[in-house]
Amino acid sequence: MKKHIVATVEEIPAGEKKFISVNGKSICVFNVNGEFYALRNSCPHQGAELCKGSVGGMTVYNGSSSEGFDVSFVKKGEVLRCPWHGWEFDIKTGKSIVDPKRCLVKSYDVTVEESDVEMINAQVETYLVTIKSNYVLVHV
C-alpha cells in the first residue's frame, strides 16, 4: 500500500469529484460534505465507468401509518448512481444499497496530510519553491 498525492484539498470542493489514475487503475476521489472517499471507477455489474454517475441522496421507507407510507430522504450527497443502469452505491463504503454484501465496488483509504511539495519555477529564472499545503492522498 502506497500513498499517492492526488490533489490539494481546495481542488475538490464538497460535492465535487476528481478522476485519477494510479498504477493504471481508474479511481475517483469524492468530497462528501468535507470528507474524502475514493472508489474504483468500474461498476461491478456491467463494467460502466461507475464514478461518472450522478451523486445524490436516497429515499428510505420508515413504516406505514394511517396517513400512508412514511418515507424520508437520507444520505444526501452520499449515494452514487451508476451512469448506465442506475444501481446505487454508498460512496463512503463502496457497498451497493440493494446487495451490500455481494455487490460492492473497491474503495480506497484517503487521508488529508500537510506536506511540502517542491516545485521548479522555470518561467524566467529557475528557483526552487516549496509549497506547504494540505493534500489529498489515496492509499493504493
Partner 1 sequence: MAKIEEQKAMETGKKLNGIIDCDVHPHPKSYQVIQSYMSEPWKSRFNAQTGLRGMYDNPIHVNRLDSVTPDGGYPCSDPEFTRKQLLDEYGINYAILLPRAFVSRYSNPDFAAAIAAAFNDWLAADWLDNNNDDGRYKGSITVAPQNPQAAAREIERWAGHPHFVQVMMDSGSTAPYGQQQFHPIYEACEKHGLPIAFHPGTEGVGINQSHVAGYPTTYMEWHTCLPLSAQAHLVSFITEGVFEKFPRLKLVMVEGGSAWLPSLLWRLDSEWKPLREEVPWVKKRPSEYIKEHVRLTSQPIESPDDPKHLLMNFEMMDAKNILMFSTDYPHWDFDSPTRSFPKMPEDLKRRIFFENAKELYNLE
Q: Which lies closer to partner 1 via its Cβ, residue 38 or residue 51?
A: 51
In the complex, the smallest distance separating the C-beta of residue 82 from partner 1, rounded to whole angstroms, is 9
Compare residues 54 and 64 and give the one whose CB is closer to partner 1. 54
Cell numbers at residue 20, please? Answer: 485519477
Residue 101 CB, nearest distance to partner 1 (Å)? 14
- Among residues 30, 54, 50, the alpha carbon closest in space to that of 42 is found at 50
Minimal distance, residue 86 CB to partner 1, in Å:
4
Cα–Cα–Cα angle for 44, 46, 47, rounded to 5 degrees: 70
Restricting to residues 35-94, name those near partner 1 by CB under 8 A.
45-49, 52-54, 81, 83-86
How many residues bind partner 1 (CB under 8 A)? The answer is: 13
Torsion of CA 80, 81, 82, 86, to 10 degrees: 160
- Please answer whether residues 11 and 18 qualify as being in contact, where contact means their C-beta atoms are separated by less than 8 angstroms: yes
Binding site for partner 1 (CB under 8 A): 45-49, 52-54, 81, 83-86
